[in-house]
A and B are shown apart, each in its own frame.
Chain A
């Protein structure tokens, strides 16, 4: 193994880490927000919407992410180009550096489906009594959700969200197919001239491990903090 090459490529990888993190955080934020909305709509059995969303979720959960990624990468520019041509709308097609928008869209879509299931199960894990107690005190449905039900549901959801988040870090490698240079893409580029793929992939394997470990610990810390009522810590 060429240690010199490893030391050389590490600093070159850093800008790519930025892209990986950008994709991961953006998809998590968008995907989880959408997933939460989906879970709420399905938990309340909003007529029509609920059924449509269940099809959406089942579809996005079964189609491989690469295919969604390709679809978004090719379909959106084509779509925009079509509209520009037909309607004279002046919308720029994202290209070059702004390509990150494609993996973010694709991963948010996929993530919303998975996250919605996490939220749905965590909402149903909170006993219905809690809602009833809140309503009996005189809270509105929104107050009851915000103050009583959601804080408890979140605690249930956090370990699974942590898993999803680490999954996102890894899925971000697929952004390579949308011409976004993130960690894997950069490693590939750096290794190509001298065919030192072994070293390159070894390094990024460790890098991914470090990222995942860090995020896991972060989620564990959050879980412990927001879930302290479950372990029965006495304040003061």
Chain B
């Protein structure tokens, strides 16, 4: 299996609030440009992406920059995805960069050298079969597991994931927030306290200010009337919304979502995904591990397909879902994405 360094840069395909029809304007333009040379295509894609972005911004919906990267255009000529070159990104710096992350539990190697890059404000969705290492990858980024090898950069902070100091781990954690599959709210704290806890204890904000921020965010997730409830009194969906509020309140460089909806019943999945979309619209960089393919198609600026501890395919959702190049990706998607869905893109 080939190892693919995913260098797709986020930003372009992010869109504000619509369904699949409105989706991936930039990527579509990029595909139209496929007739010309790669370079031309890239340039055209960039222009079109920009204008598209402006249009959306004028509509008052898009958050953050909405430029399509040159690289996305480059891919449209159908050449191999592998690219060793450092790309000229039109989108500013990468927010998160992972290089060659390896992790074994005992004898089984879960991550076999994963590299990826996430642009500022981008939404990267990681998909893949169970046991492919998605969750482990996410946990390694937040040092809930310690990787055996690899380098991690968040913003301007780079660390060696194997041997880094406690202080560095703390610094990385303070730049990131985690949304757990099973919510993991602090059981002994109310919804409000769950949100303020990080603000007062970690960020040392005064209590009043933390409370204000927390109330505002709880209002934003639609739970201002549940501020004084303990987690046991909240439904799963409400708990996960508090979990998301807790993460957003910290205003981290990146929020890591670990299958945020897989413990919820179908009705609650919808409302939670809507909220995660809203988080994306705030322009917060996110990495989302999920099995919700329509969500991935809808919100992602980059989709990464992980299988057996390796990045098999990476690119904008239209590419990965619409025209998967790798045999394994095709297999996986054929089984879980309804065929007609692929055509609606």
Q: Which residues of A contact B (CB under 8 A)?
A: 129-130, 132-140, 143, 147-148, 151-152, 155, 228-236
Contact = CB atoms under 8 A, between A and B. Distances in A.
B201 A135 contact: no
Contacts of B174: 138
21 contacts: A135-B144, A135-B173, A136-B144, A137-B198, A137-B246, A137-B250, A138-B170, A138-B173, A138-B174, A138-B198, A138-B202, A143-B202, A147-B197, A151-B188, A152-B187, A229-B187, A229-B190, A229-B231, A231-B232, A234-B228, A235-B190
Contact of B186 (A133, A138, A155, A228): A133
Contacts of A155: 188
Interface in B214-260: 228-233, 246, 250
B182 interface: yes
B186 A130 contact: yes
Chain B CB count within 10 A is highest, among A147, A148, A229, A233, for: A229
B48 interface: no
A138 B230 CA distance: 22
A78 B180 CA distance: 60
Given A133-B180, A135-B143, 18 more contacts: A129-B180, A130-B184, A132-B144, A132-B178, A133-B178, A133-B186, A136-B173, A136-B178, A136-B180, A137-B173, A138-B198, A148-B197, A151-B188, A228-B230, A229-B189, A229-B232, A233-B230, A235-B228
Interface of B: 142-144, 170, 173-174, 176-178, 180, 182, 184-190, 197-198, 201-203, 228-233, 246, 250
Chain B CB count within 10 A is highest, among A135, A151, A231, A236, for: A135
B52 to A, nearest CB: 36
Contacts, number: 80
B255 to A, nearest CB: 10
A139 to B, nearest CB: 6
A55 B184 CA distance: 35
B278 to A, nearest CB: 21
B227 to A, nearest CB: 9
A232 B180 contact: no
Chain A CB count within 10 A is highest, among B142, B188, B197, for: B188
B232 A232 contact: yes
A228 B178 CA distance: 27
Closest 8 CB pairs of A and B: A136-B178, A137-B198, A138-B174, A133-B184, A138-B202, A129-B184, A235-B228, A232-B233
Contacts of B202: 137-139, 143
A137 B176 CA distance: 8
Contacts of A136: 142, 144, 173, 176-178, 180
